[in-house]
Amino acid sequence: MRNLWLLALVALAPLSAQEVKGLDREFYNAYLDSLPNEKKQRTAMVKKNLLAFLKKTIQREDPENGASFAAGLKDDSFQYEEVFQDTPYVRGMMREIPGFRTDKFMFIIKTGPYLIFAGFNVNPALYVTAESQRRLIRVAAPDGHSN
């Protein structure tokens, strides 16, 4: 009877620390994996804002060909780069282009024959927002020849 009692205690005893080792890591990793990927969310928001900006701007700035080009735009049909006021090129743009000023969030976007500057007062990675300034340059005609 005594052996049965000891066997029951051993069976009901909590797992030793060595046997449990790793469950905390497993739980923590599972928790981290369940969190939303903020980088992907911010990238998606920037692309959403820039796509809306492109469709509106290209139609407005190039009334002859812009509407048809903008209608075919998707979030993977343009390249963009955030630029900062401490680079020599951005400083040159601000000095050379009349009325340009630095914004908190500035992007250069390239799609098809268009190269576009967009400035935002609000972070387009966090909020749905409209641009505060823009400038479109047509680097090539639709047939591939430069203007």
22 assigned to some structural domain:
no
pLDDT band at 131 (very low <50, low <70, confident <90, very high): confident
**Comparison of pLDDT for 142 and 27, the residue scoring more:** 27
Q: Provide the domain count of the chain.
A: 1
Distances (CA, A) of 17 to 9, 20, 21, 29, 89: 17, 5, 6, 19, 60
Q: What is the domain range of residue 116? A: 38-138
115 assigned to some structural domain:
yes
Mean pLDDT of 53-82: 91
Residue 146 has pLDDT above 50, yes or no: no
61 assigned to some structural domain:
yes
68 assigned to some structural domain:
yes
> How does pLDDT run across 84-110, given as a tens digit for each residue?
999 999 999 989 988 888 888 999 999
145 assigned to some structural domain:
no
44 assigned to some structural domain:
yes
* CA distance linking residue 120 with residue 105, whole number of Å: 5
21 assigned to some structural domain:
no
Does the model's pTM come out above 0.95? no
The answer for residues whose C-beta is within 8 angstroms of residue 10's C-beta and 6 or more apart is none
pLDDT of residue 114: 92
The answer for residues whose C-beta is within 8 angstroms of residue 97's C-beta and 6 or more apart is 135
> How does pLDDT run across 4-63, given as a tens digit for each residue?
444 444 455 555 555 557 899 999 999 988 888 888 999 999 999 999 999 999 998 888
pLDDT of residue 20: 57
pLDDT of residue 9: 46
147 assigned to some structural domain:
no
Beta strands of the chain (E only): which ranges?
Answer: 79-83, 105-111, 114-120, 133-138
pLDDT band at 134 (very low <50, low <70, confident <90, very high): confident
